[in-house]
Structures are given as structure tokens and as C-alpha cells.
């Protein structure tokens, strides 16, 4: 019986590893036609977070190795000026004095215009010139009111923009995960897009292997597969689900990429370690 060990660079025959693979297959009672495919593990999500603005790091709220929930602020940039700008824009946005005066003036002029129109129609005690003057005055006030309302909308938007710019100075966790590393410390300056934090979600992991095209017929997306994660000295058995089978074959090696998702809620698997997948 022969077992083929596959990896990124192609097919390799390795007597010692083949013997180990045979022992693993018998130990877990796999079918005799099974094959062992080697690969590597990685976190389900591995993200490097950065800021979109320049600034000085003012606080670090989550240290390396700590778990963080989605939406939590991991790191903040100095934001004294931005806070003041938000407060200023808020005061302007919430002020309704000018708008209220303009509304009252329009209501008054509309009432006067109506009364003038009635007098002109019924008794003609006012001249046509006075009526036209009152109509023009009312129209001017209505246009001024509309302009003030437009400015209020603009002021509200400027307040929201200032609030967004303030929030951009906080680095927020986009998903639940563990902080692996801070690249800068408190007091240091950062530039836009400069790496600040590495955050990973290792509660699920991904096993990636490169398999000969002729063997991928044994797999399909969503199928359950057996994984053995670790080296020859210590294995952790996992059951995973095929996430992706590459639709193309690498012309240089003749291999297709296969990715398998498996749970790691117990934290026993440290992403980055090698492993193997059993092809039945």
C-alpha cells in the first residue's frame, strides 16, 4: 500500500512520513483507499488595521493577546481639536433661532398679504401698488426662509461630517478576535494606511492544501473531511467543511487549491501549524 503526501510544490514521496500517515489512517480507522494531503492552517480572519488619517497615538485600550468584541475601540489617536470642532458644529446645528424668526415673519406677512388682498377685492381701500408691494414682500420672506432651511440642512450635514472625522481617530475592531500585535506605542505618530494592529479570529480556522487535479473529484464544496492538525509528535483531530475548491489548475505544478474550514472554539489549534487532510 502506498500513500502520497502532497504539498505546495507538488508530489513528494517520503518514506518516514508515509509510514506515519499509514499509522494515522489505521489509528483512526480510515478506509484503506484514503490518501493523506498535507497543508497549512491559518486564522479564519487575519487583518492588519490602520487609520485613514494622520495622528499621534493617545491611548491603547486592548493589549496584545487580549480578546476584543466587534465594535470595541482598540486604539485612539489624539483628538482634542476634533472634539472641539464637533461641539462647535453641534451648537450651530441645534440653534433654531434664525429659523424660528424667519418662520414667524413669513406667517405674519402671509396674513397681511391675505388681508390686503381681501380689502383690495372687496372695498379697494388699498391701492394695487400696495397689494403688489405686500405680495413681493411676502415672496421675499418665503425665499429667505427657504434659504435658511437649506443652510440648516447644510449645518446638520457639517455636524455629522465632523462627528465622522472624530470617529475616524478611533481604531475599532471590525470583528470578534484576538489582538496579536501593536506596531506602534502611545506617543508615536502614524500616517494614513500605516499598519497599527494585527487582529485575528482564530475561533474558526482554515486549512489550505494544494492537491493534484486528478484527486479533487473526491471533494465537493460543503463536504465534511477529516483533518489531523499538528506534527508527527502531536496530532489534533478535527472535522472540517470544504469551503473552496479552486476552479483553475496551476499550470506549473498541476495542483488546485483547496480550503477547509474547521472549528477551534477550544483554542487547541494555533494557526500556522501544519496538518493533513484525509481523502477517502
pLDDT tens string 41-58: 999 999 999 999 999 999
N-terminal to C-terminal alpha carbon distance within the chain: 14
At residue 1, does pLDDT exceed 80?
A: no
Residue 61: count other Cβ atoms within 10 Å of its Cβ.
14
Collect all residues with Cβ–Cβ distance below 8 Å to 74 and sequence separation of at least 6.
Answer: 49, 60, 61, 62, 68, 171, 172, 173, 179, 197, 199
Counting residues of the chain whose pLDDT is more than 90, the rounded percentage is: 73
Q: How many CA atoms lie within 13 A of 107 on its CB side?
A: 6
Q: How confident is the model at residue 33 (pLDDT cuts 50, 70, 90)?
A: low
Burial class for 42, CB neighbours closer than 10 Å (0-12, 13-18, 19+): middle
Counting residues of the chain whose pLDDT is more than 70, the rounded percentage is: 88
At residue 132, does pLDDT exceed 80?
A: yes
Q: What is the dihedral of CA 51, 57, 58, 62, to 10 degrees?
A: 70
Alpha-carbon distance values, 79 to 1, 54, 85, 91 (Å): 67, 11, 10, 19
- Whether the Cβ atoms of residue 230 and residue 207 lie closer than 8 Å to each other: no
CA–CA dist 222, 204 (Å, integer): 16
Stated as kind and residue range, the H or E segment containing 167 is helix 128-167
At residue 235, does pLDDT exceed 90?
A: no
Residue 266: count other Cβ atoms within 10 Å of its Cβ.
8
The confidence score (pLDDT) of residue 90 equals: 95
Q: Is the pTM of this model over 0.85?
A: no
Burial class for 155, CB neighbours closer than 10 Å (0-12, 13-18, 19+): middle
Amino acid at each position: 500500500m502506498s500513500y502520497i503526501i502532497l504539498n505546495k510544490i507538488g508530489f513528494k514521496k517520503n518514506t518516514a512520513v508515509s509510514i506515519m500517515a499509514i499509522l494515522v489512517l489505521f489509528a483512526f480507522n480510515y478506509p484503506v483507499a484514503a490518501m493523506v494531503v498535507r497543508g497549512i492552517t491559518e486564522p479564519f480572519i487575519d487583518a492588519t488595521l490602520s487609520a485613514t488619517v494622520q495622528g499621534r497615538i493617545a491611548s491603547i485600550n486592548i493589549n496584545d493577546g487580549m480578546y476584543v468584541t466587534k465594535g470595541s475601540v482598540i486604539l485612539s489617536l489624539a483628538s482634542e481639536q476634533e472634539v472641539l470642532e464637533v461641539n462647535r458644529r453641534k451648537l450651530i446645528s441645534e440653534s433654531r433661532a434664525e429659523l424660528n424668526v424667519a418662520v414667524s415673519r413669513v406667517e405674519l406677512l402671509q396674513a397681511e398679504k391675505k388681508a390686503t388682498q381681501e380689502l383690495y377685492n372687496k372695498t379697494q381701500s388699498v391701492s394695487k401698488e400696495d397689494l403688489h408691494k405686500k405680495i413681493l414682500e411676502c415672496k421675499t420672506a418665503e425665499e429667505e426662509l427657504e434659504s435658511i432651511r437649506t443652510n440648516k440642512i447644510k449645518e446638520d450635514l457639517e455636524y455629522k461630517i465632523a462627528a465622522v472625522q472624530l470617529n475616524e481617530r478611533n481604531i475599532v475592531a471590525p470583528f470578534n478576535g484576538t489582538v496579536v500585535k501593536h506596531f506602534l506605542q502611545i506617543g508615536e505618530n502614524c500616517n494614513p494606511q500605516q499598519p497599527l494592529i494585527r487582529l485575528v479570529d482564530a475561533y474558526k480556522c482554515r486549512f489550505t492544501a494544494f492537491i493534484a487535479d486528478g484527486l479533487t473529484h473526491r471533494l465537493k464544496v460543503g463536504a465534511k473531511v477529516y483533518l489531523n492538525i499538528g506534527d508527527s509528535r502531536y496530532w489534533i483531530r478535527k472535522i472540517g467543511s470544504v469551503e473552496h475548491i479552486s476552479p483553475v489548475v496551476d499550470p506549473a505544478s498541476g495542483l488546485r487549491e483547496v480550503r477547509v474550514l474547521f472549528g477551534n472554539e477550544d483554542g487547541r489549534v494555533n494557526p500556522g501549524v501544519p496538518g493533513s487532510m484525509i481523502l477517502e
